[in-house]
Amino acid sequence: MSSQPFGTRLRAAMTERGPLCVGIDPHAHLLEAWGLPDDPDGLASFTYGVVDALADQVAVFKPQSAFFERFGSAGIAVLEQATIRLREAGALVIIDAKRGDIGSTMSGYASAYLSEKAPLACDALTVSPYLGFGSLQPAIDEAREAGAGLFVLALTSNPEGPQFQSARTAAGPTVAGAVLDGLRELNADADDLGSFGAVVGATIQPTDENLDIRGPLLAPGLGAQGATPASLSKVFGAAVHNVVPSSSREILGAGPNPAALREAAARSNDAFRTVLGY
């Protein structure tokens, strides 16, 4: 079990290194742009290139599991090693796997990613609440035990998202609002930043939902997807200091040169520091 809860460690890391979260998304076209083959060897060269260049400078990394899973066991092995190397360098790792199920199956996912003894142990995991917020309980319990965190899908930026997220529950709130309420309750005893966060797309329109959940707000969609540091204040309002801004292609596209990767990350980080108050 980690000596401090995820939320405490996350705030400290962002204060020390800046709030930037670098998404590690080894798309086939990015491997090609780096002059690498679209195979496990190319995946390893790409991923370890990012790790070696940025692991000691950036606070948070978010590898997208799908782009490793597509190579089968060889890809998962790269994800496992990258996670270990990043954490050894003092960075936090959010594995973006969006797992969601019930009962023993959810417990299995939680053990795979959140238990400190697991090969894929990370600092936080993205999860889906659409089998009901209560279906996340095994992951919540495992996260508490391990000092890890969760990021729960709440207000995503894909155009299909509102079909579910804006729908009204029987009790009255929207589905997204109910998710945010559940997270706020989980974080109620946090001194500063709780360990249970929401995924809120940086490209959504300003919302009437209350984003002050006393926990982190993972904000994908920055850079190549259109959102800018300046737009964060409009979307997140008073909760902007709790945003974890995630950028992938804008940073990774600067590779494979390590100095260029570091320069791109530092430039983004400086912009986010100003807007988010770090």
Catalytic residues: 98
What is the rounded CA–CA span in Å between residue 86 and residue 165?
Answer: 33
Amino acid letter for position 240: V
Among 49, 46, 8, 13, smallest CA distance to 30 is for 46
User: Could you tell me the CA-to-CA distances from 203 to 56, 64, 221 in Å, in that order?
Assistant: 29, 19, 6
What is the rounded CA–CA span in Å between residue 59 and residue 272?
Answer: 12
What is the rounded CA–CA span in Å between residue 171 and residue 133?
Answer: 14
What angle in degrees, to the nearest 10, is found between the helix axes of 40-54 and 73-88?
10
Among 112, 21, 14, 104, smallest CA distance to 63 is for 21
Is there a contact between 98 and 129 (Cβ–Cβ < 8 Å)? no
Among 198, 234, 208, 172, smallest CA distance to 94 is for 198
